[in-house]
Amino acid sequence: MKQIHFRFDDSLYCLVDTYLKETHQSMQDCMREALISYVSSARKKTGQNRKGTFTFIDLFAGIGGMRIAFERAGGTCVYSSEWNKYSQQTYLANFAEQPEGDITKVNAEDIPDHDILVAGFPCQPFSIAGVSKKNSLGRATGFEDKTQGTLFFDVCRILQAKRPEAFMLENVKNLCSHDRGRTFKVICESLEELNYEVFYKVLDGQNFVPQHRERILIVGFDRQRYGREYEFDFKITPVSPKPCMKDILESNVDSKYTLSDKLWVYLQNYAAKHKAAGNGFGYGIAPLDGVSRTISARYYKDGSEILIAQEGKNPRRLTPRECARLQGFPDSFKIPVSDTQAYRQFGNSVVVPLMAEVAELIVKELARLEKAAEEKAV
């Protein structure tokens, strides 16, 4: 932690002091936010960000897994949004810019123009009471009626305002069956209503990392720009040889990651109890030559879903760096937060190389569509 000292004239100090009292912030937090905002803005104005072949925005950005993926595909991120302060901290440490906060309070017109919208929005139920009433009256309903009050609504309003050429949305596999399938139905209908051609598929991260992690990806292309003839397909190319758990493990691991006797006995008893009841709840010892279960944001609690066996010792949980590797983050990725926050962040993140593979497919299809549009115009 470094210290910086500032000198204020009386008028500026009074102005800052009044602001602090109004917002209930500390001087340290206020100055930190001001410096971050200034540096991020200055970098964009002076063109210090890497120029890519396309631009994209990173919504519900987390710690930037999607950003890494789309930058690998040749893109430049022109805007990011993430409300969690610890995720913002990690994002800042790795990309030298802090995402904007609550997306619900952002005017869509203030977001920079971009080619691709990228978002890993939270899964929320949609209220259909108002929709049903309008249907009974023979009145049309739109995404504003169906999705109001959810964070997916913010994705839609930005798509409507900025009309990017394409988008990619990521969510949990269970989005398809959430609320008996109604949630996914509303999502697809809303995207098609905005005049986008929609493709979706559940993909498994174990084709790129040693983790069974199924996620649904929803990709769309602008019909207003490209019409309705598409060749897009989720034809991913798995890495070879297939990754296994031993590939991501650190050689020297602190003893603090080894489970205590008390916790280990509890986990064994818990597993035995559920096994006797005929269900599969319990801890998971990851096979070193195979793949692990899905890591979740709750991994910080006890690490029980993915444990590593140790000879002559209790099993241990993964280290934060091993969790990063399990999601395909490079070792250069900085982890500036506590272990608890790191576990939450990587558990909530994406399998980076899988997202990069799909990003490449989107970029390839956009290039084909642009070429076809040019030939048609001649």
Start-end of H helices in the chain: 10-23, 27-45, 65-72, 85-95, 129-136, 143-147, 151-162, 182-193, 223-226, 261-276, 299-302, 320-326, 339-348, 352-377
* Secondary structure of residue 30 in the 3-state scheme: helix
2's CB contacts (< 8 A; 6+ apart) are none
Burial letters for 210-247: b for 16+ Cβ neighbours within 10 Å, e otherwise?
A: bbebebbbbbbbbeeebeeeeebeeebeeeeeebbbee
Rounded-to-integer distance, Cα 284 and Cα 292, Å: 8
Would you call 156 a catalytic residue per the annotation?
A: no
Residues 362, 166 contacting (CB under 8 angstroms):
yes
Token code pair at residue 297 = 């944001």
Render 145-190 in DSSP notation, one character per residue: HHHTTSHHHHHHHHHHHH--SEEEEEEEGGGGTGGGGHHHHHHHHH
The dihedrals phi and psi of 315, each to the nearest 5 degrees, come to -60, 165
Residue with tokens 């063109």: 47
Residues 218, 198 contacting (CB under 8 angstroms):
yes
The C-alpha torsion from 52 through 57 and 62 to 67, rounded to 10°, is -20
How many other C-beta atoms lie within 10 A of the C-beta of residue 282?
16
Burial letters for 51-62: b for 16+ Cβ neighbours within 10 Å, e otherwise?
A: ebebbbbbbbbb
Catalytic residue (one of 30, 77, 123, 323) = 123
Q: Length of the chain in residues, anyone?
A: 378
* Pick from 297, 258, 272: nearest CA to 122: 297
List the catalytic residues.
123
